[in-house]
Amino acid sequence: MDLAYMAALPKEEFAARRSKLFAQMADNSAAIIFSAREQIRNNDCTYPFRQDSYFWYLTGFNEPDAALLLVKKNQQNLTALFLRPNDPLLETWNGRRLGVENAPNALMSDQAYAIDELTSHFTEMTENTDKLYYAAGVQTWGDALLEKSAVDFSEVFSWRPMLDEMRLFKSQNEIRLMQQAGQISALGHLRAMKETRPNRLEYEIESEILYEFNRFGARFPAYNTIVAGGENACILHYSENNQTLKDGDLVLIDAGCEFAMYAGDITRTFPVNGKFSQPQRDIYQLVLKAQKRAIELLVAGNSIQQANDEVVRIKVEGLVKLGILHGDVDELIAADAHRAFYMHGLGHWLGLDVHDVGSYSNADENGDRNSKKRDRTLEVGMVLTVEPGLYISPKSHAPEQYKGIGVRIEDNVLITEYGNKILTAAAPKEIDDIEALMANR
């Protein structure tokens, strides 16, 4: 009984990931990773369940209240899964469970036990081990269970640096799924362009996007969809999506689906009425020029920082020509003058999480998730977003015709041995292509 838990990836791939983690663990050590739990929405209703990305990465198991225990002792590796046992009554109410008896075969684990037995088996199975790999705070319910354990480890390490580095490099199977996520996300943006017109509400366009995601097999978005008309686009994480789209405004849409647990992440900006005004063209073409140059530079051997430095120069030169910034280009760059109009980074890792894990810095050997550097050398198998933007606040001192214009253009890029591959190219971004598409609605 498999229940199609791993329809998108073969179970052998999850087993291979565990083997790779075992290889990095010290002898006489254990590692434990907990699943997500169902989250209460209100009273006795829950949000749709979404598995913890680390737990999924190692198991492919999509149920709550589970734990994975890896024990490496005397050069022998043992995998044990703890999960909810079968319960006919609860399964009638809340859905099927894999169950303890089916878990070893379905998930390629050596042993399986009921989650209620974790504390006793954990003590027994980790006897004579002195090191534990565990990341506190990822799943607080797991923290509480471990506190009940009588095992005293001499050293405790986080498994995050090891798993973050593993997740940063995508396998061929993962790339296949991310291509699907990118393609479906692009179809959502195409539909949005076709369905947008003056006087529609932002959330109406959001519903069109989500419909398209569902239609092609992606039940959920990878993050909260942004549909920001007019000056709402100058709010980076705008989420209300409840305003009327006005004739003459641009609309910025940041939307991506989650397909088989992997995220797509696209932003497109286009005119509500289907035709760019000249000031809108000025800002849009500047962002597009910067994005194209960044994509040229984002190849193996280069870094995000190199590309962003070029993006900043292109934008500052352009903003000076448009009269939005004033002064010497080099001096403006040194003073971070662009930060008033481009206040975020060029991109981020993409994978099981839309802001995926992994170090961004060559010097950061510990995978500091808060590192501000982006100088890590890009390598084959990495996937990242490329999303330069310009946001001319209505309160800025820019010329009047540019105030309230917000533009971001974002694609997903796979680093390959031959350069890079844009996974989201099906969503048009050239002005002529966008206008032609919208003219034929």
Separation between Cα atoms, residue 61 and residue 77, nearest integer Å: 20
Burial, 372: exposed, middle or buried (Cβ in 10 Å; 0-12, 13-18, 19+)?
A: exposed
Separation between Cα atoms, residue 288 and residue 229, nearest integer Å: 19
Q: Contact, 248 vs 272, CB < 8 A?
A: yes
Apex 59 CA angle, 53 and 60, nearest 5 = 70
Tokens encoding 427? 């969503």
Separation between Cα atoms, residue 338 and residue 334, nearest integer Å: 10
Rama region for 43: left / alpha / beta (φ>0; ψ in -120 to 50; rest): left
Backbone angles phi, psi at 386, to 5 degrees: -130, 110
Annotated catalytic residues are: 44, 237, 254, 265, 344, 348, 355, 387, 391, 408, 410
